[in-house]
Chain A
């Protein structure tokens, strides 16, 4: 369990007003437009958003994996235990990936090298970072494979990625990410490519490892039920901004931003059988041409003149919740609102 007092004193990761742009042939696309996040040791944060909301770009920026160009970090800070990653020389920054923070990608097959046995790929981390011998690295790899519950690890250590199933490959990628005991694990849609019965296994593994290691976990997903299942806190992103954040259970059961409410509501729950789903009209804005005011205003049933004029900032609501909406007090619980 997360240690509350500890968590409040030293956030493991803090992101302040991060801004990232991409130059495209059609102009400048604003992928991240002032994102604030915070994760403490032993805490899990879900980043919930749709495609184009900037959730994956946020993860890649934190890890220093953005392709620059076309991307450009135009402002903000990323603090890992108070140290600004963006001001570090790239070599120093790269050396943090692995021992301090690690990432799990959606597509495990392309995250692994197809021409090397998995044991060697896991062992490589120990050889490079800790100077283990070949034999010691292999032993460490087997031990890790065991810990992520790959059956018969010692006999499969010399197998190649294609010989494993999708779920097992994702376990191998998780093993590699955990190899050097990182303080922070970022998982970008780790179960999207997997079947639902296998997804349940992988989510259980991630959660178990996060608690056991008292690690900070950032879980990026478009799936509201995955966030609800795994994370303590959630940040909802829309068009490059965090529009609402707070403890997962409270945010999802009593949203204070119309977008969060629309998302939570458009899930086809049992009670809606036979009726129309409450859909959010329209589609997300063009990142090349963001509106002057609130990005959600043109899809929002609460929008007024004010919303089109200026961007609402993320405002504290107390109980560690925050929302970026002028009309957050008018966001009703589900049942009261029908369209």
Chain B
């Protein structure tokens, strides 16, 4: 059913998605503590459908353990899902082999959270940035690589004279710029940013966010921007999806999700961020959730959010709601969507 809806939406907007997830599940088996102990399975992703439109940014928000990073690994092809399809330009990336697979890898790049851990400490910046061209040798002839590396460094705002330096010579913000330069070296179509600015200081974070947006305009990139910083996601995203325990619980344009949230979890999440509550725009009441998110090892039956939901009813513990339309291109997985009534103080 969601696929048919997706087909309709695609024809309606007339832009086919550059990437698409169809019914993606990723289950990890946990090592048994004892030989005959029951097998435990972490349902990191449990049926995710998503589309990434060309040239636009899809933001993913959610708390730790909701499956955000698993999603990044699946989208980038680092992991194959246990079930479902990951389509890049209409082709399942996990069915590709050989040259086709290399082509896919060239077009989907990933930027990691910890820039220092993502760079080999024993490689100079020149080596780090020319490695992609060694793996994909047809793109830039060997003689032109140094020039290309310098161009990349300029593009991300680094001094091209520093190409002989090593990662530890750079500050955190500069290291992340190196990571970004490597991510865009092969002229990819999709850039997946998994908490790409979370490790950076506030004053430097704004620089890197600006850089990512400039690059998107210049190079026509599509972004999947995964972050727990709700304000940055709002700033950078065209569409936003909220995840909870391996499921997408709400999806829509940034304005729909942030200003007209329909799912109680999205509302609680946004209200918990002081900066969004303090904004001069819409005034939010803090919806204090009880407890922590349940473990994905043992998700609650029915709606996965019902154990913490302020408006849960008996029905929520029995059946799981589907991701249904609550507005044009706006979906929520809730039996009782809509603003949570504010308790009078």
Is A197 in contact with B268, judged by CB distance below 8 angstroms? Answer: yes
Contacts A262-B203, A273-B234 given: A267-B210 contact, CB under 8 Å? Answer: no
Q: B231 within 8 Å of A by Cβ? A: yes
Partner pick for A268 among B63, B231, B288, B293, CB 8 A cutoff: B231
Q: A198 within 8 Å of B by Cβ? A: yes
Q: B318 within 8 Å of A by Cβ? A: no
B171 neighbours in A (Cβ, 8 Å): 283-284
Is A283 in contact with B174, judged by CB distance below 8 angstroms? Answer: yes
Partner pick for B231 among A165, A204, A269, CB 8 A cutoff: A269
Interface size on B, residues (CB 8 A): 39
A residues 255-278 near B (Cβ < 8 Å) are: 262-263, 266-273, 276-278
Is A268 in contact with B235, judged by CB distance below 8 angstroms? Answer: yes
B272 neighbours in A (Cβ, 8 Å): 196-197, 199-200
Partner pick for B201 among A199, A222, A226, CB 8 A cutoff: A222
Q: B262-276: contact bitstring with A at CB < 8 Å (1 yes, 0 no)?
A: 000000110011110
Cα(A188)–Cα(B60), bound, Å = 29
A276 neighbours in B (Cβ, 8 Å): 210, 213
Partner pick for A228 among B201, B234, B235, B274, CB 8 A cutoff: B274
A residues 235-270 near B (Cβ < 8 Å) are: 262-263, 266-270
B64 neighbours in A (Cβ, 8 Å): 195
Q: B139 within 8 Å of A by Cβ? A: no
Is B203 in contact with A50, judged by CB distance below 8 angstroms? Answer: yes
Cα(A198)–Cα(B281), bound, Å = 24
Q: Which residue of B lies closest to A193 (CB)?
A: B64
Q: B209 within 8 Å of A by Cβ? A: yes
Rounded to whole Å, the gap between the CB of B250 and the closest CB of chain A is 15
B159 neighbours in A (Cβ, 8 Å): none
Counting residue pairs across A and B whose Cβ atoms lie within 8 Å, the total is 111
Give the bracket for the number of chain A residues in contact with chain B: 35 or more
B residues 48-77 near A (Cβ < 8 Å) are: 63-64
A residues 42-64 near B (Cβ < 8 Å) are: 50-51
Is B292 in contact with A167, judged by CB distance below 8 angstroms? Answer: yes
B172 neighbours in A (Cβ, 8 Å): 51
Cα(A262)–Cα(B207), bound, Å = 12
Is B274 in contact with A270, judged by CB distance below 8 angstroms? Answer: no
Q: A205-220: contact bitstring with B at CB < 8 Å (1 yes, 0 no)?
A: 0000000000000000
B residues 271-304 near A (Cβ < 8 Å) are: 272-275, 278-281, 286, 288-289, 291-293
8 contacts between A and B (CB under 8 A): A51-B201, A195-B292, A268-B206, A268-B231, A271-B280, A271-B281, A277-B209, A280-B206
**Interface residues of A, Cβ cutoff 8 Å to B:** 50-51, 151, 165-168, 195-201, 203-204, 222-226, 228-229, 262-263, 266-273, 276-281, 283-284
